[in-house]
Amino acid sequence: MNLLPGENNPFRINCQRPWPKAIAVTGALGSGKTECVLNMAIAFRSCGEEVTIADVDIINPYFCIRQIAETLRSEGFRILTPPESARWSDMPVISPGVAWALRSEGSRLILDAGGDAIGVRALKQFAGQIVEAGYLLILVVNPFRPQTRDSGGIGDMIRNMESISGLKVGALLANPHLMDETTGDDLLWGYRQVFQAGADLGIEVLFGTVPPHLADETDALRKKSPIELWPMVRHMMLPWEAGYMWTQAGDRS
């Protein structure tokens, strides 16, 4: 696994936007939230920022930041993962370094929270500090997942997340996909679903993502999409894909 340096990464954010200290990213299983976290981390670094990534996923410990922690550290990111004794468990154990990172100055903190409403429970213990530091809680939405297919399902998930975490979802990120089977028409349908949900719920839609195999269609898609679009690079590979790696087996770059 080789992370693209910021200047070569097609995924971009608005460096001039007054982003808060903490960016917490969550989403239903299959939403692609961890991939979005990685792309955002690289994009923030391309703005000249130091970036700390905290793995607070208590739902799925096997397809998350801790899987590639050493590679990320070698790329210059500060990575916070659960203590070694609980690293691969699904127990709600979070690195105590999160509290330190929320208080520290000069580094952007991106929190990769577990999917679904229960996953944001990990944020509850830091809710007061997160609010004090300033935060944006982003819900990554893949409208091809049954529970987030429309405004009703997305709204239900948001209400559950907010009730459990004590934090407010401040933005949506549209990541419609059917893995490598995704077509341009699929993307446009997904963008429109998330755009409508944002309008119905009164929540900003930050942007939509374009998967790597459709990156060449980005300009054409932008002309038809109701939201801003950014191509995304895949860094997390499935076990049967070329480039897959496993931290315990050496975390090979």
Boundaries of every domain in the chain: 22-235
Q: How high is the pLDDT of residue 237?
A: 55
pTM for the model: 0.85
Strand partners, 136: 23
CATH of 22-235, one of 3.40.1190.20, 3.40.830.10, 3.30.420.10, 3.40.50.300: 3.40.50.300
> Looking at the chain, which runs of residues are DSSP E strands?
22-27, 50-56, 78-80, 107-113, 135-141, 169-174, 204-210, 229-231
From first to last of the 253 residues of the chain, give the pLDDT tens digit: 445 444 455 566 788 899 999 999 999 887 888 889 999 999 999 899 999 999 887 665 555 676 778 888 888 899 898 765 444 455 555 667 888 899 888 889 999 987 666 677 778 888 999 999 999 999 999 999 999 999 999 999 999 999 989 999 999 999 999 988 999 999 999 999 999 999 999 999 999 999 999 999 999 999 999 999 999 887 765 544 444 443 333 343 3
- Strand 135-141 and strand 107-113: the pairing is unpaired
